Chains A and B, each alone.
Chain A
Amino acid sequence: MVSRAEAQVLLRAAMGSSEADFRSGQWEAIDHIVNQRGKVLCIQRTGWGKSMVYFVAAKLMRARGHGVTLIVSPLLALMRNQIEAANRLQLNALTINSTNTNEWDAVRRTLLADGADLLLISPERLANDEFVTGLLQPIAARIGMLVIDEAHCISDWGHDFRPDYRRIGQVLERLPNNIAVLATTATANRRVEQDVGAQLGGNVQIQRGPLMRGSLALQVMQMPSPADRLAWLADRIPELPGSGIVYALTTRDAERIAAWLRQNGINAHAYHSDIDSPERERLEQALSANQLKCLVATNALGMGYDKPDLTFVIHFQTPGNVVAYYQQVGRAGRSIPLAYGVLLSGKEDNDINEFFRDAAFPPEWQVESILRALDDAEDGMKVRDLERAVNLRSSQIEKVLKLLVVEPRSPVVRIDGKWFRTPNAFVMDRERIAHLTRQRELEWGQMQEYISNRRCSMQFLANALDDITSGPCGRCAVCLQQPVLPVETDPSTVIEARRFIRHSEMPLQLKKQWELSALKQYTSLFGWRGLNIPQNLRGQDGRVLSRWGEPVWGALVAQGKAAGRFDDQLVSATVDLLRHRWPEAARAAWVACIPSLRHPELVPDFARRLADALGIPFRDAIQKTRETEQQKQMENRYHQCHNLDGAFSVDVDLCYSDPVLLVDDVVDSTWTLTLTSALLRQVGVSAVLPFALATTTAK
């Protein structure tokens, strides 16, 4: 049996202080883990010292001949202060993640030689079969203790339940009682606590501490108009000390806000899931080093990021629930005396959150069509094969598979890169889905309460997380009865912000690879080959004027499509874009457009007026030779290409060899513009500059 005194010696060594003593709960957790080989669920705010618990426990376990401690955490590496503590305890900590594959062999050798004390991996790694069978399984026999960070994600009741964590839960359920487990989180209400406790199995010790954050000054402002909120950001952020994070709900908003802040001289950068991980890591480091004033992020900037001196976290829109909000705003002020947490509530928040709730689970027909295809497959299918068999986007297919494969009795399984149907029967758990959706609606309601709350904001958050010990914070706008940060904006900034919103164009990128198996007619006609579209058949990068239905131009495009004629304002907006914000467009010597048999005049009429305004000729050079299904019904590349095979032809006599501006009204997958560009290049047009009035792709 390890005594408290013995453990305290290690704690003092780890902290480099001969005075240090355990915080309430730390020794109890260590005792339960080391002496009972028990399981502990630790709900404590960030900074409480969870890592001290597993460092000291790991050290004690090692001293008793046990194996390495496996830490499953979204953090890619230990924080600097954690590394120092580990070094002082002479714990050898190793990391395996997707960014250090070149070190895996060395890590594996160290592990096999029993030379490592701590191994840090991400939940995504644990959900990757190739990684588990290839790397983890060979060393797993030596794992003496498991640490699960951000354990609230295991729970169905958690606000950001993740498939990867569901699998962790299933591994935990199968652990025998002689393996110690420490599950930690800073955010779990009672229900999540019970759920995670149950998945850990018997003999769980639960610890819960106060969640109040002493350094955070909270403020809520209702600002329905996006222009007002943009203006507020531009006026206030330069006045704030240090650096911070602005959270937005969507990728597109993150991009737009970042562009707006840069336009206003603020060193900001967008951060979201479409940015590849090396770039994201670079951005995180830039923020940590205060080389950026702020990152404008979606929730992709998640639990793995920890900058102790973050000065502000501002939400441009309202997140879906209190736990997510507490997590995000809680990144500010971890080790500084004062930090700001401001929530701006907008008129679009409700719609966006409703969309997220509806899109959280794939519709039943998608699940069924994928299972049917796998059922019929002789020898499993890759996602590519599934795209052919079912009319769904590869991202939709992957989402469905990812959800199915973590079911306790999964109907699908991945073996050697292929998906197979298992003998397990499958019925969509409608009750569970309805229940979770209801839960999310309630959570959204609670967030609304936070916005209209007239009591202390921090206390409201703590109470919502079932911490009832906390009193008023004395530093939020409600407690102070005055704003923490000024609410005013400069009217000229507001006018500028409105103009910015009008100019909401986006880059338009065409496809770089084609699916020739779906383009048999064109392939035999032109002898097209290869996986990539050759450079001499590609269009340039283009522009889209607006997002379908969104304020100003997007709404006008939708109206025009319904009325059968696009408003002249759209012509002048396009000219403005071409002349002032798309330099390459000056090369365009003539205009062509995508024809439609359904609306034969709509786009040519617009293209003609645009050509007149630009002072260059319009040529009706592209013909539609057959009716096609609506392209927006085609969900993946195979079906999208197949639908267009042989549907267009180019009249070479009507073409100039000079660069052409190729106009379409609404773009979704960009296959139509990609293929017609190739057809134009095929007959000798030197460059194609694609343009569309609106895009419907979801971002």
Chain B
Amino acid sequence: MNQQDLSGDTEAVLLLCGRFGGEKQDAYQPLTPREYGELAKWLIGLNLRPSDLITDAGRDALANVQEVRMERKRIEFLLGRGTAMALALERWARGGLWVISRGDADFPRRLRRHLRHATPPLLYGAGNKSLLNLGGLAIIGSRDATEAALEYTRSVAARCANEGLAVVSGGARGVDAAAMQGATEAGGHCIGVLASDLLKASVNRQNRIGLQEGRLVLVSPFFPEAGFNAGNAMGRNRYIYTLADQALVIDSALRSGGTWEGAIENLKHRWVPLYVRSPGEGPGNAALIAEGGLPFKLMADSAEKLAELFNTGVAEEFASSDTPVEMQPSLFHSEAATARLAESIVSEPVPEQIDDVPPAPNAKIGDSPDTEPAVTAGESSASESSAPLVSVVTTSPFKATEQSATAGTGDVLDMFVDFSAKLGSLLREGALSEEEIAARLCIEKGQAKVWLKRAGDAGLVEKQKRPVRYGLGRQNSLC
């Protein structure tokens, strides 16, 4: 991770929400994901982006931040934590860690789609970021699994690898480790979602080879140096489910424990189809099926393909929520570009109710200074669609709201959309200066400046130094 790898927005979000290791003593605590969401909405209303907060314009705007019931002093204090951030980033970079925020192109789309405003503002990670959008099978189970369960886990994971399905795992001992091992050893791709110690995990020998070869990505919404914490461990379950396309519970205790709670949470929110090993060894397996899980009867030596199995039966209900990655249009495709700009912060609330989780009390500052406040999906009555310009598709019993990639452009005529589309094709030939771009697109230099800044902030283009030129953003691999 070097400075160029951190987008301007991520820098600002990190200042607002990140922990760097010294927060216990600070007068003001970082924003919770929910608080950040409020602030972001307010910023959008002012036509500002998070990165603007580092500039004079943003600072002036903060005079009215009490409109969202936030203390100006707190926000200013948080934004002033640059030295603390730089020290932490330098340390993390040595372990090969990176940081992304909701607005970055690499930010996993599935998380945004399922968790909406409860999406964590920041993700810390190590390894190949592009794996975050692979989806695949989440394999869930306990730390203290039987040897038979571990063996079964490894064989399912290896089968995923052979069929080109990624495996999502929690990175803990037991079933998690067996899943990762089975997938990596069979040459497959793997996403590990960690609740603690990302920095240490990134140098763990078991993980290193996968990380080096680009087949493993480790990711965590928590401070990379955080030690184990039960709250975070539970909090991370939701990310395991929502990064995958379907989940398999190997064994679960009955009505207790992380595996049970996580599986129930997934069933409640109807994130992804939940398969449960059947027959399994867990006392809770049958109960999970009774709660809505699907029996997973695959024998270790069966010839049946996982992909076929997942494509039949109830799994179809998820189809609409599952826009294939390949269909994601070019970033310069006008709708997508616009959507991304809005999406990248937090978008307008739509009157759709998440009704099955009682609202959680707002996290109080200082409640648990050691831990990231766990994100609670239902804490706001309003959720948001991922983009204001797109029709919401809800054809399944699950509340899939992913915009159709080919949806109409809606009724907002934003010239920037047109500009960014043309800019995309123009820059494909190579990087150009501001003047050249203005001349080629027949616009005023001042206008080009404003739009280029906006495009740069959205990660669509990259500003190069000496001489100053603009080229296609490096995240723009989909072009």
> Hey, which bits of chain A sit against chain B, CB under 8 A?
66-67, 70, 112, 129, 132-133, 136-144, 146, 167, 170-179, 201, 375, 377-380, 405, 408-410, 413, 415, 420-425
Cross-chain pairs A/B with CB under 8 angstroms, 19 sampled: A139-B22, A140-B20, A140-B22, A141-B23, A141-B26, A143-B84, A174-B6, A176-B11, A176-B12, A176-B86, A178-B54, A178-B79, A178-B80, A179-B83, A415-B200, A422-B96, A423-B96, A423-B126, A423-B202
B203 contacts the other chain (CB 8 A): yes
B447 contacts the other chain (CB 8 A): no
Provide the residues of chain B in CB contact with A129, threshold 8 Å: 91
Are A141 and B77 interface neighbours, CB within 8 A?
yes
Bound complex: CA A199 to CA B161 (Å): 44
Given A413-B203, A422-B96, A67 contacting B87 (CB threshold 8 A): no
B93 contacts the other chain (CB 8 A): yes
A141, A377, A421, A424 interface centre (most CB from chain B within 10 Å): A141
Given A423-B211, A423-B212, A425-B212, A136 contacting B25 (CB threshold 8 A): no
CB A145 to nearest CB in B, in angstroms, measures: 9
Provide the residues of chain A in CB contact with B163, threshold 8 Å: none
B: number of interface residues (CB 8 Å): 45
CB A561 to nearest CB in B, in angstroms, measures: 47
Which of A142, A172, A422 is the one whose CB lies under 8 Å from B86? Answer: A172
Given A408-B93, A413-B203, A422-B202, A140 contacting B84 (CB threshold 8 A): yes
B164 contacts the other chain (CB 8 A): no
Which of B77, B85, B95 is the one whose CB lies under 8 Å from A174? Answer: B85
**Which of chain B's residues 1-28 have a Cβ closer than 8 Å to chain A?**
2-3, 6, 11-12, 15, 20-26
Bound complex: CA A143 to CA B85 (Å): 11
A174, A413, A415 interface centre (most CB from chain B within 10 Å): A174
**Which of chain B's residues 168-213 have a Cβ closer than 8 Å to chain A?**
199-200, 202-203, 205, 207-208, 211-212
Are B91 and A132 interface neighbours, CB within 8 A?
yes
> Hey, which bits of chain B sit against chain A, CB under 8 A?
2-3, 6, 11-12, 15, 20-26, 54-55, 77, 79-91, 93-96, 126-127, 199-200, 202-203, 205, 207-208, 211-212, 225
Provide the residues of chain A in CB contact with B200, threshold 8 Å: 415
Given A173-B3, A176-B15, A423-B212, A413 contacting B94 (CB threshold 8 A): yes
Provide the residues of chain B in CB contact with A375, threshold 8 Å: 205, 208
Provide the residues of chain A in CB contact with B15, threshold 8 Å: 176
Provide the residues of chain B in CB contact with A177, threshold 8 Å: 54-55
Are B203 and A176 interface neighbours, CB within 8 A?
no
Which of A141, A408, A413 is the one whose CB lies under 8 Å from B84? Answer: A141
Provide the residues of chain B in CB contact with A175, threshold 8 Å: 82-83, 86
Provide the residues of chain A in CB contact with B25, threshold 8 Å: 112, 138-139
Are B203 and A67 interface neighbours, CB within 8 A?
no
Provide the residues of chain B in CB contact with A420, threshold 8 Å: 203
Given A178-B80, A420-B203, A138 contacting B86 (CB threshold 8 A): no
Are A179 and B202 interface neighbours, CB within 8 A?
no
Are B87 and A66 interface neighbours, CB within 8 A?
no
Are B83 and A70 interface neighbours, CB within 8 A?
yes
CB A212 to nearest CB in B, in angstroms, measures: 32
CB B389 to nearest CB in A, in angstroms, measures: 31
Known: A139-B22, A176-B15. 16 other contacts (CB 8 A): A132-B87, A137-B84, A137-B88, A138-B24, A140-B83, A170-B90, A170-B93, A173-B3, A174-B93, A176-B54, A178-B80, A179-B83, A179-B86, A375-B208, A410-B94, A421-B208
Provide the residues of chain B in CB contact with A143, threshold 8 Å: 83-84
Which of B80, B86, B199 is the one whose CB lies under 8 Å from A171? Answer: B86
CB B342 to nearest CB in A, in angstroms, measures: 24
CB B242 to nearest CB in A, in angstroms, measures: 25
Provide the residues of chain A in CB contact with B83, threshold 8 Å: 70, 140-141, 143, 146, 171, 175, 179
CB A181 to nearest CB in B, in angstroms, measures: 10
Are A176 and B85 interface neighbours, CB within 8 A?
yes
CB B128 to nearest CB in A, in angstroms, measures: 10
CB B56 to nearest CB in A, in angstroms, measures: 10
CB A628 to nearest CB in B, in angstroms, measures: 35
B23, B26, B80 interface centre (most CB from chain A within 10 Å): B80
The 10 closest A-B pairs by CB, nearest first: A138-B22, A140-B84, A423-B211, A420-B203, A174-B86, A143-B83, A141-B81, A179-B82, A137-B22, A137-B21
Bound complex: CA A413 to CA B15 (Å): 24
Are B203 and A380 interface neighbours, CB within 8 A?
yes
CB A542 to nearest CB in B, in angstroms, measures: 44
Q: Please name the residue on chain A nearest to B79 by beta carbon.
A: A178
Q: Please name the residue on chain A nearest to B81 by beta carbon.
A: A141
Are B87 and A176 interface neighbours, CB within 8 A?
no
Bound complex: CA A461 to CA B12 (Å): 45
Provide the residues of chain A in CB contact with B95, threshold 8 Å: 413, 415, 422
Bound complex: CA A201 to CA B2 (Å): 13
Are B94 and A173 interface neighbours, CB within 8 A?
no
CB B112 to nearest CB in A, in angstroms, measures: 25
Given A415-B203, A420-B203, A422-B96, A176 contacting B22 (CB threshold 8 A): no
Bound complex: CA A171 to CA B211 (Å): 25
Which of B23, B80, B199 is the one whose CB lies under 8 Å from A67? Answer: B80
Which of A133, A178, A179, A423 is the one whose CB lies under 8 Å from B208? Answer: A423
Bound complex: CA A201 to CA B20 (Å): 22
Bound complex: CA A408 to CA B21 (Å): 22
Bound complex: CA A138 to CA B200 (Å): 21
CB A589 to nearest CB in B, in angstroms, measures: 58
Bound complex: CA A177 to CA B55 (Å): 8
Given A141-B26, A171-B87, A176-B11, A423 contacting B80 (CB threshold 8 A): no
Provide the residues of chain A in CB contact with B127, threshold 8 Å: 423
Bound complex: CA A201 to CA B6 (Å): 14
Provide the residues of chain B in CB contact with A423, threshold 8 Å: 96, 126-127, 202-203, 207-208, 211-212
Are B203 and A138 interface neighbours, CB within 8 A?
no
Are A141 and B87 interface neighbours, CB within 8 A?
no
Bound complex: CA A175 to CA B79 (Å): 12
